[in-house]
Structure 1
Amino acid sequence: MAEGTPIKTVVVPSQCWRARHVTRAVEWLFVAACLLPCLDTGPGVVPSSPGFVDFERGWQFGLVILLGGWGGGNNGVPWSANVFLVAGVYSLADGRYRLAVALGFVASALGLTTWWARPYDTIMIGYYVWQASLLTLALGAVWVLRRSPPAQAAERDNGQLPSQELVT
């Protein structure tokens, strides 16, 4: 390198604190929903094989639904909200706030299809906490977008500015 040539340094700014707080709130709500009962599928029955649980009856916890809810019937439509939730959280963390808003509202709408796929009297507290995580992403991303500098938000959403690094 020739003398007198300026060295470009990469500065990684701290992530927007608003986006970080919204992301954490979504994560905490989602984890809480996984630990709570989400659906009541009727009275429990004795498993047909010793040591195995029958997932067709009884309370269904969020983690069980997350791991196996995508398969079969109409369950895949509400479950697909999880895909949009994850994409929205990554978009928010990456500084693509407009995309995070859109993904958050799509996730919320897909989560509401649970009312179409399941009878209302089978829905339990875990579902509402999960839906709160979806709405927190959507509304939190709107809040972050409205509070971010307009030029910066537009440049990041158009792909003109690297999301995590600035060259000075």
Structure 2
Amino acid sequence: MLRRWREEDKEPFAVLNADPVVMEHFPATLSREESDALAERVEVAFDERGFGLWAVEADGEFIGFTGLSVPRFTAHFTPCVEIGWRLARSAWGRGYATEAARASLEDGFGRVGLTEVVSFTAVPNVRSQAVMRRLGMTHDPAEDFDHPVLSQGHSLRRHVLYRIRRRK
């Protein structure tokens, strides 16, 4: 189930963001304060834009997020709307990321009225790239980029970019 965030989601979200395996393809794990601040930014985005990162619930438990956001950095493909996901390790391999991302894309192309959505990740993150392909997103290696927030030589700096357009 995709839904708006609740106060009780913050504790399992903080656990997820502190897990070094979940955060392997991010520059660092998040502290409880950083995790709570991210959850609050997500809710503000819903109020300001009418879309955001949905809380994902399975079997009555918060397992992470998926949805749409606007990147806060500048690159050759921005401004844009990105689809992303982050799930607890216990939820991996069950199809939740793909199912929830599909629903988010439908909402973005339908209710929100978007014509294109992108997704990107560090080159070594093959699991997320597999989700992107399952969603029907396409990759052009000429569009891959060095993430501007990560320093030169950082092992996660190089990113792949995938795109999907609304079907007419």
Shared fold (TM-score greater than 0.5)? Answer: no
Considering Cα pairs closer than 8 Å and 6+ residues apart, tell me whether 1 or 2 has the greater RCO: 1
Q: Which has the higher helix share?
A: 1
Instruction: Answer 1 or 2: which has greater strand percent.
Output: 2
TM-score (norm 2): 0.26
- Tell me the TM-score normalised to structure 1 length: 0.26
